[in-house]
Chain A
Amino acid sequence: MYFHIWQKEIKGELYTWKSMLWLLISSLLFSVTSYLLLTNKELSLLDQTELLWLLGKVIIGVALLIVTVDASSVITTEFEKETAESIFLSPVSLADFILGKLLSSLTLWLAIFAVSIPYILVTSAGSHLAIPFLAYITFLGTLGVLGFVLLVFAISLFFRSSKNTLTTSLIILLGLSIPAVFSTTLKNDVASQIISRVNPIDNIFSSLDNVLVDYHVSLLQNWQFIVPLIAFCLLAFILLLFAMHQFQRQGVIRSE
């Protein structure tokens, strides 16, 4: 059943001018970043590993922002455009509905990742980092996107309103992104270090740094970053399960 929901989303939400615009914006941002990194006097003096790390941060950051904004309306529009009632009158379960929507958000991430591949290849030309860079962007990006989409879906089920879901999701995304872009020298105190250890975005960036700058490419050498990311996904999943439970208790039409 989730397959048909996913198929509908691809046709109705992803294969549209809106998604094409998202991909165009991603492509422009990756172009500008790559161009500056390779040609700007100050930036081009950076070591190539640093350049790749900066590009990796931009790719993951742009993908998380776009997927979060898009996922904020994926479920809620079904309520706002009154299409949810006919969907839930059919034998589709809530789990199938969520899974179909999740696959569509992951498809958008894959499309953004596909757009980023040429930029990764161009900036890593001449180094031995292209393969680990691609592999870790895929792996860390998928985990990050998965965690955020699960969280956004949970928020969507609580609010059932695009505006509230988008605002809350962006506050969380920004709240986690801002400490992640601070340099490590600013994270001297215990509180900052703890936040840094549990912050999923911080862990993605640190793992990329570990892979690209220090060339620690095995998963074992990155476990300290991957485990908190997986924990974040699990936490978001548990929150989604709770939101689904609440949704089923309240019914598709909520008693105001």
Chain B
Amino acid sequence: MNMPAIISIKNISKSYGGKKAVDGLNLEIQRGEFYGFLGPNGAGKTTTIRMITGILRGDEGEIIVDGSPVSDKNHIAKLLGVVPESRGFYEWMTASEYLYFFANLYSVPKKNQERLITTLLSEVDLLKRKNSTIGTYSRGMKQRLGLARALINDPKILILDEPTLGLDPQGQLMMQQLLKRLSGAGVTIFLSSHLLDEVSRLCSRIGILHQGRLIAEGTVDELKQKTNMKDLTEVFLHLTNA
């Protein structure tokens, strides 16, 4: 028997000032899947992610996450780890204080907090700078801290909106290895990225969004076959008429 999809998006639409950012999108993400979400700028990726996380209300349609509607904030917040597009941080906090703050918001038991935060900071290679204020961090370091925050509640689903943007090659490699490890541990990952090479290496399935509509979906090989192209970059450029 097929397991129900962990994220099920049914016919959602969202308009900004009369212009449709997302137009009747249908999408199903399976449990444990590493899903790549591609699209040119303004295709509606961030809007879709914000609707999945409940931060933005859709105009039409329905989003079900692990059996609950996205409006069930308590349930959804515990399931999801999110690296959003907006990169706001409390610049006056240290990385350590920042993660303790979020650990408390997610009700992580006090006795586990220190070990968890040390592990997370070590995984994103910020342990040595844990007592520096975030204001002194580079953009890449903030990105990595954002990922550590997204993992504070040991999420079943990890949603990332351009997580490697602004990272140096080492940072990108570190983040990709971490995502691979999480995927191997059974975490469902929904990754929006412009780095097609990264997506083709990491993701088991890919969806391409263009002008708010899902124009293609499948594995890299399936997409290459369908379009008769050599690699994902060519597929992407061909489908989005670039």
Contacts and interface: CB of A to CB of B under 8 A. Distances in A.
Interface of A: 1, 4, 8, 11-12, 16, 81-93, 249-253, 255-256
B17 interface: yes
B107 A251 contact: no
A8 B88 contact: no
Contacts of B93: 11-12
A4 B99 CA distance: 12
Interface residues of B, number: 32
Contact of A251 (B56, B89, B90): B56
11 contacts: A4-B101, A8-B101, A85-B55, A85-B86, A87-B105, A90-B102, A91-B77, A91-B78, A91-B106, A91-B107, A92-B105
Contacts of B14: 255
Contact of A4 (B50, B74, B105): B105
B193 interface: no
A252 B56 contact: yes
Given A253-B50, A256-B17, A91 B55 contact: no
A252 B16 CA distance: 15
Nearest to A252: B55
Nearest to B107: A91
B230 interface: no
Interface string B73-112: 1100110101010111110110000000110111100000
B200 to A, nearest CB: 28
A12 B16 contact: no
A88 B82 CA distance: 11
A83 B104 contact: no
B88 A251 contact: no
